[in-house]
Amino acid sequence: MLFALIPNIWNPRLLQHYFRFATAILFTLFLFYWIWFPIRVAMMSGMHFDSASGVFGHFYSGINLGETQ
């Protein structure tokens, strides 16, 4: 709580640096969690991403029709 309180009391310019730091952390975490981590995990595990035709061209309704499917 003090980490959030001190920039408001101390100096408005310090608050500006605080918000710039918070914005940089936000973009960095977005990059890691949504872009870099999934790609890195897929590369390390030997898995690969499906092609666009595999993702959008096949539909599975969830009903198992047995061997005839």
Task: Specify the pTM.
Answer: 0.47
Question: Per the structure block, which two tokens stand in for 40?
Answer: 């890195």
Cβ neighbours around 18 below 10 Å, total: 16
For 6-53, what is each residue's pLDDT tens digit?
Answer: 777 777 788 888 889 999 999 999 988 888 887 777 777 766 667 777
For residues 13 and 66, the model is more confident at 13
Which amino acid is it at 55? Answer: V
Query: What distance in Å separates the CA atoms of residue 4 and residue 29, rounded to the nearest whole number?
Result: 20
Q: Say what the pLDDT of residue 20 is.
A: 92
Give the pLDDT confidence score for residue 21 in this predicted structure. Answer: 92
The CA distance from 44 to 66, in Å, is: 34
The amino acid sitting at 22 is: A
